[in-house]
Amino acid sequence: MLLGAPGIGKTAAITEFSKKMKGDLVDIRLSAETPSSFEGKDYISPQSGDLKKARAWWLRRIDENQCADIPTILFFDEYTNAPDALQQLAYAPFNERRLHGVSFDYQLKNGQPGLFVFGAGNRVEDETGAREMVYASKTRVFTVDFEITVKEWLDWAENNDIDSKIQSFLYANPDALLEKPSTGTACPREWANLSVALKKGISCREAAHGTIRGAHETKFCAFYDQADLCPTIEQIVSGAAKKPDKVHLAAFAATLAFALKEDTEIKKHFAAVYEWIAEQSPECEVMFARYVIDLLGSTLLSDKNCMRVLGQAAKKAGIYAK
Domain boundaries, the chain: 2-145, 150-317
Cα-based distances in Å from 32 to 27, 87, 116, 245, 260: 11, 12, 22, 54, 46
Give 91's Cβ-side CA count (13 Å radius): 15
> What does each of the 322 residues of the chain score in pLDDT, given as a tens digit?
999 999 999 999 999 999 999 999 999 999 999 998 999 887 787 877 777 778 999 999 999 999 999 999 999 999 999 998 899 999 999 999 999 999 999 999 999 999 999 999 999 998 888 988 877 777 788 889 999 999 999 999 999 999 999 999 999 999 999 988 878 889 999 999 999 999 999 999 999 999 999 889 999 999 999 888 889 999 999 999 987 776 677 788 999 999 999 899 999 999 999 999 888 888 888 888 889 888 888 888 888 888 888 887 778 767 654 4
Q: Encode 96-117 in three state secondary structure.
A: HCEECCEECCCECCCCCECEEE
On whether the CB atoms of residues 52 and 92 are closer than 8 A, the answer is: no
User: Does the global pTM surpass 0.85?
Assistant: no
On whether the CB atoms of residues 140 and 149 are closer than 8 A, the answer is: no
How far apart are the C-alpha atoms of 193 and 166, rounded to whole Å?
11
Q: Domain 2-145, what fold?
A: Rossmann fold (3.40.50)
